[in-house]
Amino acid sequence: MSPQLRVVSLILLYGLIACLSYWGAWLLRFGFYPDLSGIPENFQTLWWQQGVYLLPLKLALLYASGQFSGFIRFFRFPDAVRLAGASGLFSFVCLVVWYFTSIRFVPPALVLAADFLLFTFFAMSARVGIRLIDEWRQSSSTAGKKADRVGIIGVGETGSSLAAELSAQPALGMRPVAFFDVNPDNQGRTLHGIPVLGVLEDIPSYYQSHDLDKIVLAMPNASPEEIRQITVLLKSAKIPLETIAPLGQRLSNPDLKQTREVKIEDLLYREPIALDEEKLSQFIKGHRVLVTGAGGSIGSELAFQIAGMEPAELIMLDRSEGALFEAEQRVLQSIENTSLQVEVADLRDDEVIDTLLGRCKPNVIFHAAAHKHVGMMERQPRESFANNTVVTMRFAEKALAHGVKAFCLISTDKAVEPTNAMGATKRLAEKAVQALVDSGQSGSTQFTVVRFGNVVGSSGSVIPIFEKQIEERRPVTVTDPAMTRYFMTIPEAVGLVLQATAFESAAALFTLEMGDPVRIDDMARDLIRLKGLEPDVDIPIVYTGIRPGEKLDESIHYPMEQLEATDHPKIVRVGLVSQDRDEADAFLSEISHLFENLCVMPDADFRDRLFRLANT
């Protein structure tokens, strides 16, 4: 329906209801006198004369309150409140006039009160009727298509909204027929006419007796342990379980389905992170921002979030053409009017990078490019050193030379007391950035290092390996039953990286609050259960033993590091101990000297020097 036709339709609808309610209010007030009109003779002329200007006034107030700009077929409680408010405003204005002029210009007070009640009731009834007709029409259009019979866990606001949405939109293919809740006192009650059948433990029996097709978890504040218990209960009974997508995802992606399968991220759920949007906007908006490693897990998410903050230009750099293309498409398809520049380049090529920085003139750089696979880099420590340490040092120097305003290095918990080559080279990258500052070379550039643990779904994460093993019904290989790691979702980590970089401070190292460490063995078992299988029954778990360079537990901080609170509760500032200029210059020279002798130094000597530099 066009906007013009919608307005005309609403004017006609409300105008007709206003006329009927106005006339009915007079009849109610005077008890239906026996003459044809039912209105006393002394009011015969007055009632319609007043109606000539009072009815247009009511329509004008309805228009001013936005009643003609809404969608006719959508009507819920907030719409009802606004409609009642507009009707009440008209009655209030008339009552004020009546108070000062009696019935000269407006009807008696009881007529006005009856008119308010009649108009509000009939207008709401008409809107509800239109919605019911629309829902019937949608049901007719989907006739012949079997809708899934759905049981909903949770009778709170989320469950109520989900049930109302599914009932109102049959095209979604799901019909709520039952509720379940953790509180046994709710059993036997109804919500939107749908019964609360029982508690969680009752689901398997009711699933069969009520011919349910799936269960949807509508408890956004459920703890990971609660979600895990529900998952184990239902998956062991072979009952399909879905959950509602988080509100943020639904807002950013209107095409996202109402429900989705439970993921491992849900079992790692922590409280949603609130970011200082104003500070982030000031830091990014209107600036040219360069992201290296933009084809990787962290780099692509950085680019995606930055693109939504209105940068003057976003430059995405990676040496992997395929990965960069996919990251570029994600930005282009999701965020409009983004000034985007994509650069396929190798950060080791000094001339190319110098030319690029001179041409693009970035104000802010996020350096996410790095080798991250522990096992692979353990076999190629020279490559890890060249790419993670030397490239970072030289790239930071180039940023200084080109007057970059802010430079952020993405680091890892593997850099804390490193026992593997990848961690050692990332630790050296951290120390190289600090040495540039201590040597007095940083100028006006604000250097930031952000250190955090594993992210769920990244290219180096163990989760994709587990998922592939489960899909192929192969044994799931876990290093050690006691091994733990910190985990965080990619959007969560990137949001905190942006927030930390936006802090106005001198050179700083920040770490992210990663929550409690997670046992890899528990995660593997959870993934198996999410697929509807039973660990050690359907899928065996095999322990392979700790590999060279691995630790049972990781840490985000060195024991001697002084931790300082920041303006954000999930970001911690690490107090750095500055070295004098000669020490800083000597450290940078050692890195350069080690790189110069990279190809001629024996393996044992190289590793010994690498770890000595990292741990001193």
Instruction: Answer yes or no: are the C-beta atoms of 594 and 609 closer than 8 Å.
Output: yes
Q: What is the pTM of this model?
A: 0.71
Q: 175 phi and psi, to 5 degrees?
A: -125, 115
CB atoms within 10 A of CB 481: 12
User: Length of the chain in residues, anyone?
Assistant: 616
The answer to whether residue 299 scores a pLDDT higher than 90 is yes
Average the pLDDT over 53-68 and give the result: 80
Are 74 and 135 a contacting pair, CB within 8 Å? Answer: no
Residue 256 confidence (pLDDT): 45
- In angstroms, what is the C-alpha Rg of the chain? 33
Strand-pairing partners, residue 562, are 575
Q: Summarize the confidence of residues 298-311 as an average pLDDT.
A: 93
Could you tell me the pLDDT band of residue 109, with boundaries at 50, 70 and 90? Answer: confident
What is the pLDDT at residue 609? 94
**DSSP 8-state symbol, 453:** -
> Could you give phi then psi for residue 208, rounded to 5 degrees?
-80, -45
Cα distance between residue 273 and residue 513, in whole Å: 11
In the predicted model, is pLDDT for residue 42 greater than 80? no
The pLDDT value given to residue 32? 61
Q: What are the tens digits of pLDDT across the range 73-95? A: 666 677 778 888 888 888 888 88
Q: Among 343-352, 484-493, 591-600, which stretch is predicted with the lowest mean pLDDT?
A: 484-493
Q: Give the pLDDT band of residue 130 (cuts 50, 70, 90).
A: confident
Q: How far apart are CA 387 and CA 371, in angstroms?
A: 7
Q: For residues 174 and 156, is the Cβ–Cβ distance under 8 A?
A: no
State the DSSP code for 408: E
CA distance 191 to 153: 12
pLDDT in tens, 558-599: 888 888 998 888 899 998 777 888 999 999 999 999 999 988
Instruction: Give me the torsion for CA of 293, 295, 300, 306, rounded to 10°.
Output: 60
Least confident of 120-134, 288-302, 353-367: 120-134
